[in-house]
């Protein structure tokens, strides 16, 4: 669902939002009812959903909190030629760009008690899909359980929901 927010004219992509200081990300069009969270899980990159209606003078960037949208203009004030980002042309980033934290790690971070380790987990689903994940976990078993849970929940944008193999490797942070 696209939320309409105030559009600011800019010459180039702002390094951060001038209003709230959050990062500025691409607006993705052709997204239907997809939410930002759904987009993030499927494509593993931030973006603000533009929905299916592309305005005649489309903003192409937005604050990642959604508070402002940015339209590119030329220094003379005319509209810059822009190419809008369409969902159908976006490729998912590799699963390994995200570091997942297990709930046990969250507890360690809250309480300050315990050790956090970093793992690479290679998963194969029942459909033969293979992904590599980066998982912070308290131990290898925690990392494995977490990987299986992510696949079951469909959080990785895979079609399969079961792991037929899970291999856990220690990585030096
Ligand atoms: Zn903002």
pLDDT tens digit sequence for 102-128: 999 999 999 999 999 999 999 999 999
CA distances for 109 relative to 97, 112, 122, 134, angstroms: 21, 5, 25, 18
- Which pLDDT band holds residue 4 (cuts at 50, 70, 90)? low
Q: How far is the CA of 8 from the centre of ligand 1 (A)?
A: 11
DSSP 53: P
pLDDT at position 173 is 58
Q: How far is the CA of 117 from the centre of ligand 1 (A)?
A: 34
Q: How far is the CA of 168 from the centre of ligand 1 (A)?
A: 39
pLDDT tens digit sequence for 8-50: 999 999 999 999 999 999 999 999 999 998 898 888 889 999 9
Report the alpha-carbon distance of residue 168 to residue 144 in Å, rounded.
Answer: 7
Q: Which value, in Å, is the radius of gyration of the alpha carbons in the chain? A: 20
Q: How far is the CA of 65 from the centre of ligand 1 (A)?
A: 6
Mean pLDDT in residue range 84-106: 90
The reported pTM is 0.68
Q: How far is the CA of 110 from the centre of ligand 1 (A)?
A: 28
Contact 132, 95 (CB under 8 A): yes
Q: How far is the CA of 152 from the centre of ligand 1 (A)?
A: 34
Mean pLDDT in residue range 96-104: 89
Contact 92, 42 (CB under 8 A): yes
DSSP strand pairing (48-49 vs 24-29): parallel
Domain extent listing, the chain: 7-89, 95-170
Mean pLDDT in residue range 79-92: 94
* Mean pLDDT over the full length of the chain: 92
pLDDT-above-70 percentage for the chain: 97
């Amino acid at each position: 669902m696209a939320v309409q927010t105030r559009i600011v004219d800019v010459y180039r992509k702002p390094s951060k939002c001038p209003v709230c200081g959050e990062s500025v990300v691409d607006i993705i069009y052709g997204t239907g009812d997809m939410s930002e969270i759904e987009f993030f899980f499927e494509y593993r990159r931030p973006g603000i959903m533009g929905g299916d209606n592309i305005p005649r003078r489309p903003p192409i960037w937005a604050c990642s909190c959604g508070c402002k949208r940015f339209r590119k203009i030329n220094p003379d004030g005319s509209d810059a030629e822009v190419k809008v980002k369409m969902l159908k042309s976006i490729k998912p980033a590799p699963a390994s760009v995200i570091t997942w934290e297990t709930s046990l790690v969250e507890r360690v971070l809250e309480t300050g008690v315990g050790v956090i380790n970093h793992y690479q987990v290679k998963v194969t689903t029942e459909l033969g899909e293979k992904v590599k994940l980066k998982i912070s976990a308290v131990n290898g078993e925690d990392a494995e359980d977490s990987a299986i849970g992510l696949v079951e929940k469909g959080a990785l944008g895979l079609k399969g929901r079961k792991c037929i193999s899970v291999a856990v490797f220690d990585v030096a942070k």
